[in-house]
Amino acid sequence: MNKSSKTSRISLPSGYAPLLADLKARVRAAQVRAVLSVNREMVLLYWNIGREILRCQRDEGWGAKVVERLAKDLRAEFPEMHGFSRANLLSMRAFAEAYIDEAIVQQLVGQLPWGHNILLLAKVKNAEHGSANANARYRKKFTAADVAASAMVADPLRLMDVCATSDGGAALVISSLAYAKRIGKAGAPRIAAISTVTPTFPSAIVEMPDLANDSAVTGAPQAFRAALPRRAYEEAGIGPKDVSLAEVYDLSTALELDWIEDLQLCERGRAAALTREGATRIGGRIPVNPSGGLACFGEAVPAQALAQVCELTWQLRGQAGERQVQGARVGITANQGLFGHGSSVIVRCA
């Protein structure tokens, strides 16, 4: 008889089972505390690195090349760590800029994974944009600490990461080019493409509950969301590099990052870095949701799809006021509802 068989036949005292259950619970709790402690220290480290980069850029005139060299030297010294890319150092800088108070970082933000701290920046950005939009339902600015302190909905998304439900209305007046010329509006922004795509079978990934076509008809797997802008680019005869700004369906902060990649405004996996770097803010390389998005309007399908086109039109006319994206020539929208309803519209200057 082997040793394990003998052990299994030992007569255990009555208090053994509850003691074992208690010890298991303690071990699991200790594991959670250990992970949180490591995460807190890492986030604090990233904040301090970001603060030093901010200081050196302000006081010593550090440029992009110096940050790139710093990233290279840190990676060489700590090859086992994966957080010292140039993009992540710039993310640390943006993180430190968003959180001035170290106490908040230690007490609140340090409890969140690094990735969720990036989602907070998307909410803060949209709230700032929407605060300057007279049509927005919610015009309050939020700090990253406000978002981090809101109730958990579905980890890692918190209440302030998710848009409200809403009612609303929007209207457009569209004419032929001939009529626009006749009334002296030949230079008005033009609808360059309208893409409406429904899911097909098989779907490449699970994106939202949808109704696909007959499963007996097989084809190459594809992502529903990514197909929307692809068709729009084809119809308009342009590419993602031609886009000046985008209005996307930010049902949550995470979904905004997904749309940035689906619109091909950056490579897959780069949306978080783009957000951290401030590229999606007004004044950045590719502003996303200068209207404030659903974060400031709430979700009101399908009025939101028309409202996105209205925002692009005002931007291309130069009539967006404080929200104006300078030099805007081409804008794209992305909108989605349940069961495979979606659209992408491209508006461009004449």
Q: What does the pLDDT look like over 162-186, one tens digit per residue?
A: 999 988 888 899 999 999 999 999 9
What is the pLDDT at residue 209?
A: 45
pLDDT at 329 over 80: yes
pLDDT at 160 over 80: yes
What is the pLDDT at residue 261?
A: 94
pLDDT tens across 12-61, in order?
888 888 888 899 998 988 887 776 677 778 888 888 999 999 999 999 99
Query: Cα separation of 111 and 240, whole Å?
Result: 37
Domain total for the chain? 2
In 3D space, the residue among 39, 88, 40, 143 whose CA is nearest the CA of residue 276 turns out to be: 88
- Is 24 contained in some domain? no
What is the pLDDT at residue 215?
A: 47
- Same domain for 95 and 241? no
Domain end (from 134, 161, 188): 161
- Is 2 contained in some domain? no
- Is 149 contained in some domain? yes
CB atoms within 10 A of CB 26: 10
pLDDT at 258 over 60: yes
Poorest-confidence range of 210-214, 222-226, 264-268?
A: 210-214
Residue numbers of the domain that contains 143: 37-161
324 dihedral zone (left: phi>0; alpha: psi -120 to 50; beta): beta
pLDDT tens across 51-103, in order?
999 999 999 998 888 988 999 999 999 988 877 888 788 878 877 887 777 77
- Same domain for 114 and 194? no
- Same domain for 340 and 192? yes
Domain end (from 161, 196, 218): 161
Domain end (from 161, 185, 204): 161
- Same domain for 334 and 218? yes
What is the pLDDT at residue 28?
A: 87
DSSP conformation letters of 141-175: ---HHHHHHSPEEETTEEGGGBPPB----------
- Same domain for 157 and 190? no
pLDDT at 214 over 50: no
> What's the pLDDT band for 260 if we cut at 50, 70, 90?
very high
**Burial profile 157-174: b = 16 or more Cβ within 10 angstroms, e = fewer:** bbebbbbeeeebebeeee
36 dihedral zone (left: phi>0; alpha: psi -120 to 50; beta): alpha
Residue 282, domain CATH? 3.40.47.10
- Same domain for 247 and 135? no
- Same domain for 289 and 145? no
